[in-house]
Amino acid sequence: MSDPVLGSTVMSEAIALRGVSKVFGVGDRAVTALQPLDLDIAAGSFVSLLGPSGCGKTTLLRMIGGLEAPTTGSITVGSDSVETALRKRLFGFVFQDATLLPWRTVEANASLLLDVTGQGPARERVSELLRLVGLAGFEHAYPDQLSGGMRQRVAIARALALEPRVLLMDEPFAALDSITRDRMGEELLRIWDRSRTVVFVTHSIPEAALLSDRVLVLSARPGRIIADVAIDLPHPRTGAVRLTPEFSEYVGMLRSYIEEASA
């Protein structure tokens, strides 16, 4: 799929999980984080993982991205194993903490992965990414001169620099105030534009309803998928969507599933 802003071609990937489970520890100390599950995520979709603390959302995300090995089962990204997908640099990661290097400017932090992988600074591309995330004019600023939302924008630009086909996001806006969080969610939808597959971990029910094509609700540990909710709201989605009866119905539905998951 063509990226109209960056003028490049970005191909999203489907993700398939078969019999995937996760157990931490062995013997008497073994703790089952996730029960075996099968899951298909369509290419170009935005899927949120929602559930109570400790239900395995982050563990599932990390297994998809190859940061954690499943105890059983297999995961494929397109036609590739996770290990091959990692080597091909198909993943982009954004975490709750932006983890910017304080001695590097905004531009240098955004180009970090390009530097590490030997692709050079690619200044034109980095400049376009910073413009895309609303940081044009801040290229030479340092992290301590930025707000929390601006630091997360840099982290998103850095993740997009390698043109990932799958963007994995673990509560990237959790530390932000509610106004900034809402704004960042709308910005993320604008950037996404179905040019890559997104898997997004959140504790926020309204955030999941606003951003997602599909919300997977996980039970309390040991985690299992107890609800798979398609979100049929029109795009583009802005703050006005939150005022519609349809949005309120989705939030109420997801809240009831969360109450069930936490029981």
% residues pLDDT > 70 (the chain): 94
- In whole angstroms, give the CA distance from residue 135 to residue 126: 11
How confident is the model over 84-109, as pLDDT tens digits?
A: 999 999 999 999 999 999 999 999 99
Whether the predicted pLDDT of 162 surpasses 90: no
| φ and ψ of 172, to 5 deg | -70, -20
Top-confidence residue, 28 or 219: 219
Q: Which SS3 state, helix, strand or coil, does residue 194 take? A: coil
- In whole angstroms, give the CA distance from residue 165 to residue 128: 18
Task: Tell me which H or E stretch contains 199.
Answer: strand 197-202
Task: Tell me which H or E stretch contains 192.
Answer: helix 178-192
Whether the predicted pLDDT of 81 surpasses 50: yes
Top-confidence residue, 116 or 209: 209
Give the Cβ contact number of residue 89 at 10 Å. 14
| pLDDT confidence of residue 7 | 42
* pTM: predicted TM-score of the whole model, two decimal places: 0.91
- CB of 224 closer than 8 Å to CB of 17: no
| pLDDT confidence of residue 122 | 60
| pLDDT confidence of residue 140 | 95
- In whole angstroms, give the CA distance from residue 193 to residue 213: 12
How confident is the model over 124-147, as pLDDT tens digits?
A: 788 889 998 989 999 999 999 999
Whether the predicted pLDDT of 231 surpasses 80: yes
| pLDDT confidence of residue 9 | 53
- Mean pLDDT within 35-56: 94
| pLDDT confidence of residue 261 | 80
